[in-house]
Amino acid sequence: MANIKPVTLAYFADKCWKPLTDYRFTVGDSFSPLVVHELPRAVMSLPVAFMLDKDRYVLVAVQGFEPQKNMLVNADGKWLTAYVPAAYRCYPFILASSEKNRKILCFDEDSGCLTDTGGGEPFFDNEKPSTTITEINKFLGMLDASKKKTDEICKSLQAHDLIQPWPLTANINDQGYNVRGLYRIDETALNTLPKDSLAELASSGAIKVSYCQLLSTQHMGSLQKLATLSGSKSGSKNPATGKTFADDLGFNLLDQDAKLNFDNL
């Protein structure tokens, strides 16, 4: 259970934090949320689908076929594709909503990144949020705004009956996994839309989202191959070559020295 604390001067004035150096905190995530502004980059390396959240659809990256197993992070915590979902890139910082629906920057104290002995990044500088904290808050604000846009697009696609169940069976080491709960764009329905509906969806950005999702389905085969080769254990070594299975698949490991890019989600 995360221990979320609002980033306030009263609590964090004399404390520092250290950025995470790996993505092991994501190992239990079979899916991660995506927003529309990161979609063109995400679909170049991640399979994308829709999932139902109560009565509405949300956009997600598919990261594994088994519950609570992320195949895209290896045993050392390295991410195994070229793109890391934006939702992960500011952790342990989180944008939460107050009772009055005001957005508040928070920090997960259970992340292991908090330090009050120095040697890290300060939360505050002369009683004002540090430059890094300000940038993180800005990034998360952009992400939240894009999430609202994404929700509107998903609602529009649903209203036009363009989202259908996506039945999948993953065969991993001769064991079949029925992957339930995923949805995809109904390409036939999309191609037969009336002109006025097509124009409406195009103006909202929903057509772009539709084709991005359809394009991303090519990565399902790579995800299954990764799961099969690794024996459902990310990052294991191939005894014949000494390579990681991500190397066999041609994945690019994330540069751990890379900085947050606030120009593009």
pLDDT tens digit string along 120-146? 999 999 999 999 999 999 999 999 999
Cβ atoms 61, 88 nearer than 8 A: no
Does position 252 have pLDDT exceeding 70, yes or no? no
Read off the pTM: 0.82
Quick one: pLDDT at residue 255?
A: 28
Structure tokens that stand for 14 in this block: 């004399």
Does position 96 have pLDDT exceeding 60, yes or no? yes
Average pLDDT along the chain: 85
Does position 258 have pLDDT exceeding 70, yes or no? no
Distances (CA, A) of 154 to 128, 184, 217: 38, 11, 18
Does position 114 have pLDDT exceeding 90, yes or no? yes
Higher per-residue confidence, 35 vs 14: 35
Quick one: pLDDT at residue 116?
A: 76
Does position 30 have pLDDT exceeding 80, yes or no? yes
Cβ atoms 210, 157 nearer than 8 A: yes
Quick one: pLDDT at residue 234?
A: 37
Residue-wise pLDDT for 172-229, tens only, equals 777 777 788 999 999 999 999 999 999 999 999 999 999 999 999 999 988 888 777 6
Which pairs with CB-CB distance under 8 Å and at least 24 residues apart come from 143-149?
A: 143/35, 143/86, 143/87, 143/90, 143/95, 143/265, 144/95, 144/103, 146/35, 146/36, 146/37, 146/38, 146/265, 147/33, 147/35, 149/35, 149/36, 149/37, 149/205
